[in-house]
Amino acid sequence: MQEAITKADTLIEAMGWIRKFRGKTTVIKLGGSIVDNEEALMHILLDVIFMESVGMKPVLVHGGGKAINRALAEANIEPKFIQGRRWTNPATLEVVERVLAGELNVFLTEEIERLGGRAMNLSFNTTNVLFGEKLTLPDGEDLGAVGHVTRVDRSVIEGLSYTDQVPVIPSMCEGENGEHFNVNADTAAMAVAQSLGAEKLVFLSDVNGVRRDKDDPDTIIHSLNADEARALISDGTIATGMIPKVEACLETLGRGVKKVHIVDGALRHSLLLEIFTTSGVGTEIRQ
């Protein structure tokens, strides 16, 4: 009996938070390392289903860098990255599209349904919602078929909330002439969050947040403002895959998204902890 009472207490405690976030959009970016972690992924998707069930509006945007690398290795194609983005020739694009818009997008949608939720995959194979153009790097380096998102079809994404479906969006976009582009998933999530005016953007990564020493979880920085974040990028504390993530956070905050967090996707219930606790988990990036 006591156990049941404690559970009921927990529900009552959550009521204030549920009220606060009911009807509000949270964009969740799933990194490739988390998509690969079966146990962690299941708990994340259960959190997502819970959020949807209590009237929040979770929107999933996913990458899949590791799965793409595996598929490229099978096809004997050498992966190449320029400034953190995958150099994407036509053969690479074919693999990226098969893995992201085909396999992973369908897999995630089916997993949500298998776990008892409702979801809709929004890709080239169904209804594409991300439109954009070729990305040109400042130094003029050519990345091939890599794009950035310039327009998001909000009405399709928002329309899914009427049927209680969680939108699941792969990080690819379509150009003006119907061409397909590979998009860095952090920047795709940023574009979706901006377009929807999301209450929160949460990056689920394979680390517990931004750290002073990238190999030491105890050095996590719980809160960072824009100037501090830029200084940590300049002095090399924030490096590799964390750079596009933090840059995406900074850009997003300047454009109407209220809160941006980087949290550990492998920590059980990290999503709910982020939303239902005052201090949250991971790193919060502030303006």
Ligand X SMILES: CC(=O)N[C@@H](CCC(=O)OP(=O)(O)O)C(=O)O
Ligand Y SMILES: Nc1ncnc2c1ncn2[C@@H]1O[C@H](COP(=O)(O)OP(=O)(O)O)[C@@H](O)[C@H]1O
Binder among 26, 41, 58, 64 for ligand X (CB under 6 A): 64
CB 196 within 8 A of CB 59: yes
The C-alpha atoms of residue 129 and residue 61 are separated, in whole angstroms, by: 11
**CB under 5 to 8 A by kind: which of ligand Y, ligand X, none does 86 bind?**
ligand X
CB 169 within 8 A of CB 188: yes
The number of CA neighbours under 13 Å toward the Cβ of 189 is 33
Binder among 77, 226, 237, 269 for ligand Y (CB under 6 A): 237
Q: How far is the CB of 7 from ligand Y (least distance, A)?
A: 33
Which residue, 68 or 112, is less far from ligand X as judged by CB? Answer: 68
Cα-only R_g, the chain? 19
Nearest to 146 by CA among 99, 79, 92: 92
Is 86 known to sit in a ligand binding site? yes
Binder among 25, 26, 28, 31 for ligand Y (CB under 6 A): 31
Binder among 40, 201, 210, 229 for ligand Y (CB under 6 A): 210
- Beta-strand ranges (E) seen in the chain are 25-30, 57-62, 81-82, 85-86, 119-121, 130-134, 147-152, 166-170, 172-174, 180-182, 200-205, 223-225, 259-264, 283-286
The answer to whether residue 83 forms part of the interface with ligand Y (CB under 6 A) is no
The answer to whether residue 287 forms part of the interface with ligand Y (CB under 6 A) is no
Q: How far is the CB of 259 from ligand Y (least distance, A)?
A: 18
Q: Annotated binding residues for substrate, as ranges?
A: 64-65, 86, 182
Binding positions for ligand X, rule: CB under 6 A: 31-32, 63-65, 68, 85-86, 96, 146, 171, 182-185
Q: Annotated binding residues, as ranges?
A: 64-65, 86, 182
